Every structure is written in C-alpha cells, then in structure tokens.
Structure 1
C-alpha cells in the first residue's frame, strides 16, 4: 500500500503539557512497622485481657492461665525458687499471649483518634419538604434527609449529591491533599461525612443513620473492636483446641504411670510439660496475625468490612479487571498518522493538528502533541486566513477548522470514521478503498481510527472538491509494568479477565499486549454477574472492582468486591472492601496482602508445632531420668539439671511469643510462586528452623539458669 506515515519516536506520546501534580499524602505508618515501645504502650491492655471472658476466646491461653492458677496455689503451699519461677513464667506466657493481640489492636489507635476528630458533631442545614431550611445537629439526621452544604462547610453525614457539583477535600479520610469533584448523577455522587466542601454548594441526600456512617465503621474496624474471626481462623482455633485436649489427656495419664513406677511427678512439672507441648505460640499469635492483615490493608488505604474478605483475597482464583483506567491509562492517545496515497506526512500532520486545536478531549490534545513532537508547529495552516474553529461535541463526534481567505474556503474535519466518511459523502466526495483499508487495519490492531478529510472550495467554483487525507491511530496505552503484574498473578495461580465495553477485536488486541488471560468484551452488568457465577460454580473465588451503581450486583456476588471511594453509595454498600484512593490497580495489592496473611498464619503454625520437638528432649528426660536412667540418652542438649531443663523450656516457650510478634505484624514476605514451592520454603525455613532454634535457645537459657540457686 502506498501510504505515508508519521510515527512517534518514543513508544508512548504523553498528552500536552504537564498533568496535575501528584497529590501529597499525609504521613502514614508503614505497613508492618514495629517499635519495641509498642510493647510497653500495650501492656495495660494486655493486663486487662486476663479477664476470663476474654481468655475463653483463646482456649490455648485459657489452659495456660488455669495451669498458672493451679501452680500458684501449689507454690503458696510449698514455696521454692523452682516453684515460683515456674509460676512466674506461666503467668508471663499468658501476658505475652495477650500482649501480641494488644499490640496488633493498638497499632490503629492513632489513626482511629484522627478519624474521631473528623467524625465530630456538626451543624447541618436540613431542607424540609416545604423548601425551608433549618439548623439541626448532624446526629439528628436520618436517611432520606436533604441537606445543603456550601463552600467551607463540613458534610454532616454520608450521602449522595442530588443537586449541584463541588470540589471536596477528603484528605482527612484518604490522606490525599488534592480535592476531588463530587456532582449529582453518575458514579461520583457519593460524599462522606466529615469531608469539607471547598467550592460551590451542593445538596446531599443522607443515606446513613447516626453511628452507622462510613467513618463509624472505619473507626470500629481500625480499632479491631468489630473484627470477626474468619472461617479459617475459627477452624484453626478448633484444631488448636483439639491438640490442647489431646496433650492434656496425655499429660494427665502420665501421673498414674509415674505412681505405678513408684516416682509420682510434681504437678508443677506436669503443668510445665503441658504448657510447653500445647501449641502456645500460634495460639497466642493467631488473633494478632488476623488483625495485622486488616491493618496492612488500612495502611494502603483499603477498608475491609471483615477479616473474611481479607482471607478470601488470599484464595482468589479469578480476578476481574476493568480495561479503562486499570489496564490502560484511561485516555486513548495518538500513536501514528497514516496518510492515503498522494498525501505527504507533513500535509496530513498539519491538517490533523489544525482540526484538533478546538478539540479539548484528551484524544484531541494528544494529536496536537504528536504533531508538535515532530516539529509540525512552524506554520499554522490558518496563517493569512480567517480561522473559524469547530469544537468537538459528543453529538457531532467531529472537530475541525474553516479557513476563509481571498482565495476561497478550506474546511478540515477530524473525527470518528463513520462520522467523517458520512461528511465526505454528504459534500459530494468519494471514500477511497485505501481509507477503508487503513481504518480496518487500525481497528484490527486494537486501536481507534479517526479520519481526517478536507473540502476545498475556491472562489466562484461552487461546492468545491472533497478528499480524505488519512487516518489517525488512537491507541489505548497499556500502563507500564502491567504485563509483569499479570505474570506475577499467573505465577500465583490466578486467572485474569479483562472486562470492557469495547468490541471483541479491540479488546483482544489490548489483552494480548497487556498479557491478560481472558477477555469479556461488550460487557453489560448482567454479563459480569453471569461470569462471576460461572467461575464460582467451578469452585473458584472471584475478586472484582467497581464504582458504579451498575457494578453493585457483581460486587455483591464476588467473593472479594472492592468498591472505589469515588463511586456511588450502592457500589460501596455492595462491596466488602472500599479503596479510599480509588485506584483500580489496588486490587492486585489486595490479593497479595490476602495471600501474605494466609502464608504468615501457615508459617507460624508450622514453626509453633516444630518447636515441640526440642521441648520433648528437654522435659521428658528431666521428668523420668531418675526412674529410667536410659532416658539420659535423650538429653542431647546436655542440660545441667532437671530443674534447669524444665525452667529453660518454660522460659523459651514464653519468650518466643514476644520474639515472633514483629513477624506476625509485618507478615511473612510473599513471593509469587506455586503452592509446592511455598510449601517447601515453609517446611525448610519454619519447619526445620522451628526445630533448630529451640535447641539453641533452651541450651543458652540453661547455661544462664545453671548459676541460679535452687534451679541450677
């Protein structure tokens, strides 16, 4: 094909001029950050958790507390250094277990305090049915009330804008200093109580009852007071309780055997053995792991309504992603100019730029930028003529310029292929087959073709001549790094589906470039819902993100439904997570955080169970070596005395809980890989490590305790 082309030297041509500055984010604590001072600050809460009503929620710690209480009575009756040392460290074990949960809960206190400052009582301008305005406290508002909010005033409650548009400062909630636009109608009508209107006046229909607002729920979740145990967490608690019962029965049966052998065991020693054998470590850390998982989401400005949603994110098998704004930059950009035969690249570029000067859409500005990046600004085509610009509108789907001068009139048009070809025919021109071929080529490549044409009418020559000049190739620019992200998701075993309203041909081209596994083109709300149900019927958990009312059914059906904070109230109510930054790519991070939560729980469970091996070699020989000297062979650590061996095991059992609190809060580092690889890593690092570390720790404690009178 004989066609002149103009292609950019850079892969992607940005829009004209600098974009808006990246909004500054307020100071935030890095996710997983831990300070030893948090231990001290959380001690009062840990002491309050000695309440039996709280301990009963953690059966493992409840057993330790009952054992400590029993040993305290025995130590009071027969006080010895050994007895009181055991008693002290049993109570410390319970304290450290409570401390793990208290530290996890305390990490959100500062953020909750700042949110409470936002969630203060305000005066609302409620508008009655007769149109009269009255001043009422925000706590007196009810769903359905209509309020007016002017510039400088605080939005008194959650609701939807039903009239007007305004710039709103949401930095107190999202941390973003840049204001956002909220307007009636569409998918950006929702406003949150406590945010501030910066310009204009809006009328808001209240949707939340007092005490049930978005901020109220966020404060409760940040503090952990509303956190419900997840199904996996409940199942693991049942397993831990079962193991505790098994070890309890095993230890209880030891005493009759010891009596039969003529060497009854001290109850203190039996309790110490039980505490060391039951899964104390994971039992103490389990709640902290769950709270920390939700905290990591909050640190990334994602509010999860429940721990179940975070947990489900870790098991997601299918991820639904919108194309525009998620996979692509959101605005199509001019990629190249394709001229028909007989039209030079410079001629097409000059005409395309002139026809785009009155087009204020991002696509129109990108055409100007493409031409100017190739030096096409030396001479404007309207020089010496009177220019009458034709602005782009959604109705005409064209923009252009009419150049009127002494020599006649020249009209240049640029717009959608169907619209401009119709303009050519209306003005008596013919659409060349070459132009149709160029349009098809661009469409097949997944781009959007814009046609450039002109009509030249010299003075006194009637209608003049009309001809097509060429095609502008608009391209959906895939965000940098998206292919790598999808490769990571594929390594996790997650199938990605791009959901778009584009035609199938365009959708497939974008999907191939981005590396998406599958495509749902020309998607309607019903199509999304059907796809989610099909995936779930196949046994897969599904995650998706949406912001509009039409996304609400799919968000409610998805196992992980992430609604954007800029979206409608219906979308936010339907989803089980809300992204305060309204960043569509955040869905990928949410999945990774969910997987990190599950991996952390599995790794620490493995470490806790593996810990028991060293304690067998410490306590069992100490208990029975005098009756069965052959058991001395099990004393591989060569612990100095039976008392030192028992105390060393009990002390290590307590200290390891505190040592693992930072890991429980930060989470085990997640690397996208297969399940078999993750299992191998857990077994090597936390299985073998869980066996070796206690041997070293108990031996070091024994060396110290050897010098303590009454123990060594």
Structure 2
C-alpha cells in the first residue's frame, strides 16, 4: 500500500483547499470551540464595515482606526479557523491518499460465471452475491468470495503490499479471497460473497477516507469539556462591559470577541479532530484497517490481551529440535534416516529436519536420489518417507501409526520408545518416530518455536499494565511449556470458541477492556464480543465482519503495536490538552493585567510582561493563539512518543513538559509579537 508523507505538496494543496470548504457553518458546528471563533469572525467583519454596529462606541482613535483594528482582528480570527481546519484536513488528506492507492487496484475485470451447466464471461461489475465464478492461474479474482473448490497460490500484494503469495483453498479458515488479487497457480471455483459496492475493498476505501469516523467516548467527553469552558468564558466576557464602564474603561465589541477567542481553549479545539483521525492513520500505516476511531482509542485502554498460540506466540510451524535415538541406535544413524525421510518433504517441518541433520554433519543431495520413490504424508497412514532403489524403506510419522506399521511388517518395538515419546509430549513437543524397514531408530523432537523477542514484548505489555492470556487447543502440558517460554501471564488449554467467549465476558464483567486476534469462523463470536477485535485478512469473511479491525498482513502480533498506538493517541490528546489549558492560563496573565492596569493600579504587579498597550496585548495574544495551532500540527499528526510506564509517571511528564511548556511559551511568544507590533507602529 502506498505511503504518504506528512507534508507532501499534493497533500498540502488539498488540505489548503479543504480548509476553506470546512468553514461551512454546517460543518464547523460539530466543533463548538471553532464555531464560536467563526461567529466572532462574522461579528468583527461586520464591525469592519460599520464600527457602530451592535451599539458599539467608536474607538478613541476614530472610525478609521476602529475599522483597521476590526479588520486585523477579523483576519487573525480567519487565520485561526483556517489553521484549525487545515490540521483536520491534512489528517483526512493522508487517509484519502491511502484510499486512492486502494482505488487504483480496482479495475474493470471480466468474470467467468456459472450459468446453469455452462460458464460465460460477463463484466465483474455485474456479479451478484451467490454467483459462482471460475478463475484460472494468471487471472485476477473478480470479486470477494469463498473458495468452494480447488487450492491455489494468490498474490495479494495489490491489497496488502506484501510480496509473498498466500495459499487459498476450499474449506477451513483460509478460503476467503479478495477481489483484485491475482491467482498465481491452479484453478479456483469461488462463490461471490458481496454485491458491487459492498466488497471488502470498497469498505476499506470508505473506512480509510474516514468519512464515517465516529468520535470516541473520551473524545466526546473532551468535546463536552471544551464546550463547557467556552460557555463559561462567554458568560465571563459578557460581564466585562459593565465592569469596564464602572471603571471608565473603553471596551469595544471587537476587543471582547478577541478576548473570548484568546481565553477559550482554541488550541485543543482546533486539533482535537486531527488527533483522532491521525490515530486511525497511524494504524493504517501498519496495514491495519480500523473500522472506527473508537477501536483505536479502545486499544489504548486495553487491560487484557488474548492471543492464539500458533502463528501468534509461536512461529506457526513446529521445527526439529533434537534427534533422540532408541537403545542400540546412534544419533548419526538416526539423523541419516531422518534426513532421507525428509529429503523431498517441502513442509517447514520437513525442511527443519534436513537442517538439523546438516548441523550434525549429515548431508544428502537430492540429485543423487532422483530415482527414489517419495512417499507423501496422508491422513490415512499419518506417515511420510522415501523408498530407495535398493529396497530400503524409510518412514517417519506419528508414534502410534509407526508402531502399527512395524508390527504389521513383523518388526519389534524398542522398550524405551514409549518413554522417549512420552517425555517429548510432556515437554510440549511433537514426537515423530523414524523407522528403517522394520527397525525403529528413534524419535525426531518437533518443537513449537516461540518467536524471537516475544517474551520481551510481553514484558513491555506488562509494564503497560496489560495482562496477556494465551488461548490454545493444545493439551495442558504443551500449553504450559509454551506459556512458560513465552512469558504470558495466563493460559487456557484445550480452548473451544465457547471458552474464549466466557473468558472475554468474565474479563469485561470485572471492568476490563479486552483485545483479541483471530482468523477463523469459530473466532467470530469472540472477535465481536471483544472491545478490540483484530481479524486477519487471510481469515474468513465471518471473522472480518465480526472484528472492528482487519490486518491486511495477517500478523496477529500487531495487536501489540495497535495497543501502543492507542496509548499514543490518548497520551497525545492528553499532552496537547495540558498544553492548551496551560497556554490559556498564561494568556490570562498576559492580557487582563495589560488591559486594566491603568484603571486598577493594583493589577500592575501581575503585568510581568510589560506589554506596550491593551491593544497590543489583545493583538499579540490573538496572533500567538493563531500561530500556535500550525506549530502543534506535527505533534498532533505524529503523536507523542509512548514509553511503557506508570500512569503517575505519564502524568508528571505531561505536567512538566507540556504543562510548564504551555505556560512559558505564551509569555515568550506574546512578548516577541508585542515588540514586533511596536516596531510596526501597531501597538
């Protein structure tokens, strides 16, 4: 999937245009703070035309000076709104760029659809849910669907960005295919699962564009807080004119509007939407589609993380870890037989046996055994192997299957075989017994390999306050071994779909937020129940529909990154909110003393900035209020870097870095702007 830089020329130009479009009051009313700023701009614009409107007394400098002052205030308010809109438009623009990259994968295809006993070619856009289509190697899959016949290799790079093809086949959890992907081998018969406009790609485009993005509960709560603060300061500003008249001070409407805009939390109000959209964008950059901002933010509050074992905690394939010869056999002899058995075995397990044999000095070349008969694994025999040209038969397989094979051939079972097999099983491994003709030579110890670094990642989650639970269908012995190696907090063995649901509900009843990953139809109920459900793109349609996130790379471990992104979103919002409120506190000390010192000399002690005049104080604060928004856009878009630590540490870091910074920045910035205005003769 294409990636978009934060400040690419095309994105900036589109964001600039969208900034003006978002000035529509019907759009801006969704942001109460910026809507108040827009109303204030309309008022000052009207005053620019006629300074005597709204019963205003003309500024002592005369009508001309009043118009100029009102015009300057109007322009600054306009810039403030545009900067706020620009932040949101830039965040949305990045999502739209992602959507356009996806849309380029949609081309008009032809489909070979079944009509009665025949197949006929029709445009893919004419396909309907339930149609059956045939796709052969080299063709693009015309629509979303489920494979009902055949097995083939599919290139999904156009959708996921990953170059490695995946296997799709009838039945099981890997039957789902996506329109626009390419079949590389064999032939598939597919039943279409979506009507035109309802495909997974269509939904992804809509989701990425953020057109239906809903605000999260925390975002709504913050919006209510901002609206409340805005209302409070409206009341405060409304009380200032009678106070000013009592003191003999001049207080025109434009100054009141400017003062209101300076005091209400415009910084966080302008950046709030951008922060939420950028959070979704950060998830998209990990090739994960979030169906709403709520899912991303919920990830930041997750307390319990439920993960499957295979493919999540372990690498997904059991690998040969050791050769265990029975009494009377040598490790070298066992390694030779095991390597020959696996010479033509293309499974990961088979290749790992050959690699293990090579590590002990046993190497064979395929070319030398080209005339041998390769016996592939089958569900009936539960064995595989090689028949050599000299009549030697080599087999490896499940212990009970090999024992039955040896007994049928008139051979004997070594007395220590069962002990070795049982020991491997207790350690959580899979024993493969190797036999040459009728003579059992020993056991290949296949082991679930825990992913490198996974233990450290679980430790990181623990530092975040997140408990990890491994769910597996394996027996308790195997589950306990893997859980101990991986460092998870708990495990559930022999888990069925009902067990996962009960676990999630139990956690939620205790007030915890739960995240889980899954890819099968049997995972769908649990994915729907979880607060954060991550479905694999390689999984079934049911799983993808049930989850609130879809991972295009089918990597369940991304839940860890998603949790970090959710935490980062919450911390970013908290940091900018802290900065904004501290910013407003500083502006109070900049503006109020400068405006009233001449009438209330006692306020002079608070006039630490010694601004040139009340007019300069207002304009300087208003200009600073506008320019701080674009300066914070990179922080809102990129997010505050998250480090696993306690809530108290995060709070102290926010207060020191963003609270203290929010207090100091206005003092410095407003004073510099005041000096510039004085030089320009506008003070």
Q: Structure 1, unaligned stretches of length 5 or more?
A: 1-25, 457-465
Farther off after superposition, 54-63 or 181-190: 181-190
In the TM superposition, what are the counterparts of 1:233-312 in structure 2 within 5 Å?
233-312=219-298
Kindly tell me: are residues 52 and 390 of structure 1, through their superposed partners in 2, closer, same or farther at Cα, counting changes over 3 Å?
A: closer
How far is 1:622 from its partner? 2.1
Q: Is the 8 A contact 2:595 2:617 kept in 1?
A: no
Mapped partners of 1:151, 1:215: distance in 2: 22
User: Do 1:548 and 1:567's aligned partners in 2 also have CA atoms closer than 8 Å?
Assistant: yes
Q: Is 668-677 or 394-403 further displaced after alignment?
A: 394-403
Residue in 2 aligned with 1:116?
103
Q: 1:441 offset after TM fit, Å?
A: 2.4
Q: Is the 8 A contact 2:340 2:364 kept in 1?
A: no
2:40 matches 1:53: no
Change (3 A) 1:419 1:203: closer
In the alignment, structure 1 residue 394 sits paired with structure 2 residue 379: yes
Q: Distance in 2 between matches of 1:200 and 1:438?
A: 42
Indicate how the Cα distance of structure 1 residues 451 and 611 shifts in structure 2: closer, same or farther if over 3 A, else same.
same
1:325 aligns with 2:308: no
Match of 1:28 in 2: 3
Once residues 103 and 558 of structure 1 are traced to their aligned partners in structure 2, the CA distance between those partners, rounded to angstroms, is: 32
CA distance in 1, matches of 2:167, 2:421: 37
Query: Aligned residue for 1:8?
Result: none
User: Contact between 2:4 and 2:98, CA under 8 Å: does it hold in 1?
Assistant: no
1:516 aligned to which of 488, 492, 510: 488
Q: Describe how 1:155-304 pairs up with structure 2 within 5 A.
A: 155-304=141-290
How much does 1:433 deviate?
4.9
Please give the TM-score of this superposition, normalised by the length of structure 2. Answer: 0.92
In structure 2, what is the equivalent of residue 680 of structure 1?
Answer: 652
Contact 2:302-2:513 within 8 A present in 1 as well: yes
Pairwise CA distance, 1:36: 7.5
Q: Which residue in the other structure is 2:421 paired with?
A: 439
Q: Please name the residue that 1:487 is paired with.
A: 459
TM-score, normalisation: structure 1: 0.89
Stretch of structure 1 that moved more, 688-697 or 82-91: 82-91
Distance 2:181 2:2 in 1: 18
| Structure 2 partner of 1:74 | 47
Q: Deviations over 1:488-514 (max 9, x none)?
A: 111111111112121111111111111
- Which deviates further from its counterpart, 34-43 or 529-538? 34-43
Shift in CA distance, 565/92, structure 1 to aligned 2, threshold 3 Å = same
Quote how far apart the aligned CAs of 1:311 are.
1.2
SS in structure 2 at match of 1:567: coil
What pairs up with 1:444-455 in 2 under 5 angstroms? 444-454=426-436
Separation in 1 of the partners of 2:244 and 2:672? 30
Secondary structure of the structure 2 residue equivalent to 1:324: helix
Change (3 A) 1:64 1:140: same
Match of 2:633 in 1: 661
TM-aligned CA distance change 1:674 to 1:86, over 3 Å: same
Query: Greater relative contact order: 1 or 2 (C-alpha under 8 angstroms, separation 6 or more)?
Result: 1
Deviations 1:91-116 (A, max 9, x none): 11111111111111111233322322
2:300 is matched with: 314
| Alpha-carbon distance between aligned partners in 2 of 1:363 and 1:209, rounded to the nearest angstrom | 41
Do 1:360 and 1:392's aligned partners in 2 also have CA atoms closer than 8 Å?
Answer: no
Rounded Cα–Cα distance in structure 1 between residues aligned with 2:147 and 2:619: 66
2:531 aligns with 559
Give the Å deviation of 1:651: 0.5
Deviates more, 1:164-173 or 1:562-571: 164-173
- For residues 379 and 310 of structure 1, the distance between their equivalents in structure 2, rounded to whole angstroms, comes to 52
Report matched runs for 1:369-448 at 5 Å: 369-377=355-363, 390-401=375-386, 412-426=394-408, 431-448=413-430
Q: Structure 1 pair 125/263, CA: closer, same or farther in 2 (3 Å)? A: same
Residue 193 of structure 1 and its aligned partner are, at CA, apart by 2.2
The alpha-carbon distance between structure 1 residues 200 and 401, as it changes in their structure 2 partners (threshold 3 A), is: closer
Change in 2 beyond 3 A, CA 1:205/1:344? closer
Does 184-193 or 570-579 show the bigger shift?
184-193
The residue number in structure 1 matching 2:335 is 349
Q: Any conservation in 2 of the 1:358–1:390 contact (CA below 8 Å)?
A: no
Instruction: Report which stretch shifted further, 298-307 or 69-78.
Output: 69-78
Partner in structure 2 of residue 478 of structure 1: 450
Confirm or deny: 8 A CA contact 1:482 1:514 kept in the other structure: yes
Residues 285/379 of structure 1: CA separation in 2 closer, same or farther (3 Å cut): closer
Kept in 2, the 8 Å contact 1:269–1:623? The answer is: no
Q: How far did 1:346 drift?
A: 2.0
1:613 positional shift:
1.6
The 3-state SS of whatever aligns with 1:614 is helix
**Residue aligned with 1:249, SS:** helix
**1:575 to partner: Cα distance:** 1.0
What is the DSSP-based 3-state SS (H/G/I as helix, E as strand, rest coil) of the residue aligned with 2:316? coil
Distance 1:101 1:358, change over 3 A: closer
Instruction: Judging by fraction of residues, say which structure has more helix.
Output: 2
CA distance in 2: counterparts of 1:66 and 1:431, whole angstroms:
90
Distance 1:259 1:73 in 2: 23
CA contact (8 A) 1:265 1:623 kept: no
Provide Cα deviations, 1:227-277, integer angstroms capped at 9, x if missing partner.
Answer: 122222122111110111011111111222222333252222221111111
SS, match of residue 325 in structure 1: helix
Matching residue of 2:58: none
Structure 2 residue 49 is the aligned partner of structure 1 residue 64: no
Structure 2 stretches lacking a partner, 5+ long: 52-63
Which residue pairs with 2:587 in the alignment?
A: 615
Q: Give the drift of 1:387.
A: 6.6
Q: Which moved more, 1:160-169 or 1:92-101?
A: 160-169
SS of aligned partner of 1:640: coil
